[in-house]
Amino acid sequence: MSAIEVRGIEREFEGGVKAVRGVDLDVAAGEIYAFLGPNGAGKTTTVRMLTTLLRPTGGTARVAGHDVVAEAGTVRESIGVALQEAALDPLMTGRELIRLQATLHRLPRAEGERKAEALLDRVGLQDAADRRVGTYSGGMRRRLDLASALVHEPRVLFLDEPTTGLDPVSRKGIWEEVRKLNADGATVFLTTQYLEEADQLADRVGIIAGGLIVAEGTPRELKAQVGKPHLEIAICDGEVERAREVVATLGRPLPAKDGLVLLELEGGAGQVAPVVRALDEAGLAVESLDLVEPTLDDVFVAKTGRHLETEDEAPAEEAA
């Protein structure tokens, strides 16, 4: 059964700005699905519709088997939401916030307190639990936000740009936690503008631009759509032509670039060893050898004609 099932969902804001223009989605139970796109692509608007914070102006969506408009209350009982920029009250303590969240989800007081302690332990915030959130670092805030989204053990978890603005260490900590949650059975729908995040975490990726999904698949499938891995070989003594001849039968030679021998390898890393052996047997000294794989940015460029990480903010997402 799909944990998230979306058909032609649309959202038009006052003034005629269409932030989402007919998105279809199917996210299987137990999957990590990443919605990848630049600011203004429609990611947050889509998440707000799926979490019942915003009514769609067209199309339908079901989350955890319930319609987001007709059964909004039931949807809210089934989902956990960690919002962009961690919408936390800086005047509350971490413990107060998780306990409040437990009350909002109607957990009995004793159970809410027990869950709060367990979650504070889980995200490593027990020592800071009685400090005001305003004193927390960005990473601590995100961990607290994540913990508060888990208090009622939701079946589907929505994480809106969970690592935006975090340092690499904090980012990896959040990834680790997301993987654990997924291993425990939660379906995770996350939005991100980071290629690496989608690549590392997601079972499947949907690339959204201009309010439309322009590509969807596993990271490997998406990359395969735009090209195969290739080797970039730098040869000592400039014997580039001879090196090209030696490796020509081991892959598909590509035009040389910057004095490098380029060889497309359909099998990726598995085909590197024969190339190294062939060069060695031919007495050619290799200065460097890099296996270059297509990235999700290559996919983004192929689908939209623009690089993901140089996108400017667009007004539609701000309106959302």
Is 84 an interacting residue with respect to another protein (CB under 8 A)?
Answer: yes
Is 71 an interacting residue with respect to another protein (CB under 8 A)?
Answer: no
Is 1 an interacting residue with respect to another protein (CB under 8 A)?
Answer: no
Query: Applying CB under 8 A, what is the total number of residues that bind another protein?
Result: 35
CB neighbour list of residue 54: distance below 8 Å, 6 or more residues apart? 11, 45, 48, 320
Q: What angle do the packed helices 109-122 and 138-149 form, to 10 degrees?
A: 140
- In angstroms, the CA 101 to CA 112 distance is 9
The residue from 92, 224, 240, 289 that contacts another protein (CB under 8 A) is 92
DSSP lists the bridge partners of residue 35 as 191, 206
Considering only the stretches 88-96, 162-170, 229-237, 283-291, report the one whose residues sit in contact with another protein under the rule CB under 8 A. 88-96
Is 64 an interacting residue with respect to another protein (CB under 8 A)?
Answer: no
- In angstroms, the CA 101 to CA 150 distance is 9
CA 214, distance to chain mean position in Å, is 16
Sheet holding 66-67, edge to edge: 18-28, 2-12, 58-63, 66-67
The residue from 77, 216, 232, 311 that contacts another protein (CB under 8 A) is 77
How many Cα neighbours within 13 Å face the side chain of 63? Answer: 31
β-pairing verdict for 204-209 and 32-36: parallel
Is 89 an interacting residue with respect to another protein (CB under 8 A)?
Answer: yes
Closest approach of another protein to the CB of residue 42, in Å = 14
Query: Binding marks (x or -) toward another protein, 114..143, rule CB under 8 A?
Result: ------------------x-----------
- For another protein, which is the closer residue by CB, 99 or 204? 99
| Residues in touch with another protein (CB under 8 A) | 11, 13-14, 48, 51-55, 73-74, 76-77, 79, 81, 83-85, 87-89, 91-92, 96, 100-101, 103-106, 108, 132, 148, 319-320
